[in-house]
Amino acid sequence: MAINGIAKSMLNQYNYSSSLMNLYNRQLSSGNRLVHAGVDPAGLGISSKMTSQIRGLEQAQKNIGTGQDMLKVADSGLSNINDMLAQIKELTLEAANDTNSVENRATLGQQVSDIIDEIKSTITNTEFNGKDLLSSEADKTLYLQTGANSGQGMSVKLSKLDLTALDELKAATADWGSEETIGSDISSATNMKAIDDTANAVSNNRSNLGSYINRLEHANKNVGVTIESLTEARDRITSVNELETSMRLEQEKLRQQASILMMGNVMEQQGLILNLLM
């Protein structure tokens, strides 16, 4: 009975060592210490929360990049409008000079009218992923999710571009080819104000966009540092210590070999006893 007890004890030790060796081999092959929940339940819970936060932040980082791209598209549209407004002013001032013939003024007026139409087209067609970015009718507010949690975002406001005064200028260009029109009519304070006020509105929007883009750049850096720090903290919990685990694996191999030898000895002793009894 005593010999049988020793044999069972050695068998249990053998099985236990085999289980640990299997665990250590899995850890070494995967590089992950937490190959199952039983290894470290608390560590697994913490690392899972960290992984969720990291993945959320990685998506937020993508959102920030996409948001920057979107705002750059809006800024590009506004930049084109700004250039067209400068061209309108040049043409208006050129047409106001009485050295021009009636035909010249009519041509210049048509160019101004066409450019105003193109400004409207630019406002309508400036979009990102199917979303209109500019408007001549109402202010636009765009929300960008820049963090991994609720409330961690940025609202981007774009003021409307009121084209009422430019529409009036466009209507006035029809009379630029008239014999009754004089230069001071074309370069009137009303016409100049229509151009300048629209240009100021465009410049204000571009200035705001620049601020938003800079904020997103800072947010991107902050999210990047947070991801890096969380990843390092999680890896300290989940990553296997290869040296320590290899040493433990070798220890269990030795224990398993010792168990095999002892079981062999026990079985040999059992054989001798049976021979004596016979």
Residue that the structure tokens 């224990």 belong to: 255
Query: Which among 85, 84, 89 has a CA at the least distance from the CA of 186?
Result: 89
Amino acid, res. 73? V
Residue that the structure tokens 């665990």 belong to: 23
- The single-letter DSSP state of residue 32 is B
Q: Are strands 140-145 and 131-132 parallel, antiparallel or unpaired?
A: unpaired
CA-based end-to-end distance of the chain: 18
pLDDT tens sequence for the chain (278 residues): 455 566 566 667 666 666 766 766 776 777 677 666 666 677 778 888 999 999 999 999 999 999 999 999 999 999 999 999 999 999 999 999 988 899 999 999 999 999 999 999 999 999 999 888 988 788 888 899 999 999 999 999 988 888 999 999 999 999 888 888 888 888 889 999 999 999 999 999 999 999 999 999 999 999 999 999 999 888 888 766 667 767 776 777 777 676 667 666 655 655 555 454 45
Q: At what angle do helices 164-172 and 102-125 cross, to 10 degrees?
A: 150
Euclidean distance between CA atoms 275 and 245, whole angstroms? 45
Question: What is the DSSP track for 85-153?
Answer: HHHHHHHHHHHHSTTS-HHHHHHHHHHHHHHHHHHHHHHHH-EETTEE---SSS-EEEEEE-SSSTT-E
Sign of CA dihedral 91, 97, 103, 105: positive
Q: Measured between alpha carbons, how far is residue 175 from residues 4, 16, 168, 179, 181 in Å?
A: 117, 99, 12, 9, 7
Residue that the structure tokens 């774009």 belong to: 158
Output the six-digit token pair for 191. 């016409």
How many CB atoms neighbour CB 123 within 10 A? Answer: 20
Euclidean distance between CA atoms 220 and 61, whole angstroms? 6
pTM (2 decimals)?
Answer: 0.74
Contacts of 265 (CB under 8 A, 6+ apart): none
Tens of pLDDT along 125-170? 999 998 889 887 888 888 999 999 999 999 999 888 889 999 999 9
Residue that the structure tokens 């060592």 belong to: 17
